[in-house]
Amino acid sequence: MIRAGIIMLLGLWASACAASADSYSSEHYELRLVPVAEGLDTPWGLAFLPDGAMLVTERDGPIRVVGADGVIGEPLAGTPEVYDSGQGGMLDVAVDPNFAETGLIYFSYSEPGGDGAGTAVARANLDRAGNRVEDLEVIFRQAPKSSGGRHFGSRLAFAPDGSLFITLGDRGQRDRVQDFSINRGQVIRLWPDGSIPEDNPFVGVEGHRPEVWSHGHRNPQGAAIHPETGALWIHEHGARGGDEINKPEAGLNYGWPVISYGRHYSGDRIGAGTEKEGLEQPLYYWDPSIAPSGMAFYNGDRYEAWQGDLFVGALKYRLLARLELDGERVVKEERLLERFDERIRDVRQGPDGFLYIVTDSGDGGVYRLEVVGP
């Protein structure tokens, strides 16, 4: 009787979601955006557990488990204090690739201390039954911390070799990005326990930090591993224009703030202009800025025409950008969900093959993008 009642309630919940879903058109599909979990307070990051449940971070500090049925759990106990100011707070979350054996989750956050805050990454065991994390260990701290609430970066991505990439923003200190002795505007590469891979490009190089993979980034809030090549791709916020997609390679410098396709908010030119010898060009850029956040390659089986495409959320223009690729070239951009009119903070492919988006507001949510017609 109890089981039958639960099944009936889940059926009612699914019917309610379908009834409240909105339809949208794209070049290839008629789409429906189905609410999975609503009423979240400024959600930022999303990661899927093996059973289809989700970990969702809220910027003011909580991490919640959202069941595959959409039920939102209470905040996990045992998470660290965060610097909840400006763009800071609890940020990205990732599940260990070997979660079934390790039970580990990883999360990035703005850690208070000293003169302000800095991006930190911790790992901990997830105790679902106790709704808590245990044996928390901080595996990375941005050095030095600084005042202000801008540009923490903070996306996490596991590479095929098991190493962990971490994106760091410039903390609003663009004049310090080309100082390689500190952590500003970089991609970091570590082993999951926080140790430094011996093949990192700056191991043993004087004046450089050994955890650094690449330099010269502004504020990368998107990171994804290419499903075929295994390479890391990121995107980063420009200033007034100049949002970029890059494929960071070991030891290379991506130019901020020496080159950019945007301008300062004052309207002044940035650095030397759009190019300079020794500095890398982006694979793609937006001008004017769309304020990108969240990033996912699609390789599922729910949208056949989108196989191999790259999806990027946008905060300023409130859309989901679909980018068609030819190798490493973006050959076409389609802008989806503009009528939805919500800031899209994250986008992920779920284990069911659907795309999921996270909306950035005090009444934010997780939504599933379904196909309703050809």
Distance CA 262, CA 252 (A): 21
Could you tell me which of 80, 37, 83, 39 has the C-alpha nearest to residue 60?
83
- For 53, the enclosing helix (H) or strand (E) is none
Q: Mark whether 151 is an active-site residue.
A: yes
Distance CA 13, CA 17 (A): 6
Q: Are strands 232-236 and 220-225 parallel, antiparallel or unpaired?
A: antiparallel
Distance CA 226, CA 260 (A): 25
Strand partners, 107: 93, 122
Alpha helix positions (H), the chain = 2-20, 99-102
Show Cβ contacts of residue 233 under 8 Å, excluding neighbours closer than 6 positions. Answer: 223, 224, 225, 226, 245, 246, 247, 283, 295, 297, 310
Catalytic residue among 28, 151, 217, 264: 151
Q: Are strands 344-349 and 355-359 parallel, antiparallel or unpaired?
A: antiparallel
Upstream peptide bond of 201 is cis (omega within 30 degrees of 0):
no
What CA dihedral angle connects 66, 95, 341 and 35, to 10 degrees? Answer: -30
Distance CA 33, CA 70 (A): 14
**C-alpha to C-alpha distances, 71 to 6, 39, 159, 372, nearest whole angstrom:** 13, 11, 31, 24
Distance CA 213, CA 42 (A): 30
The values of phi and psi at residue 102, to 5°, are -95, -30
Distance CA 119, CA 374 (A): 44
Q: Active-site residues: which are they? A: 151
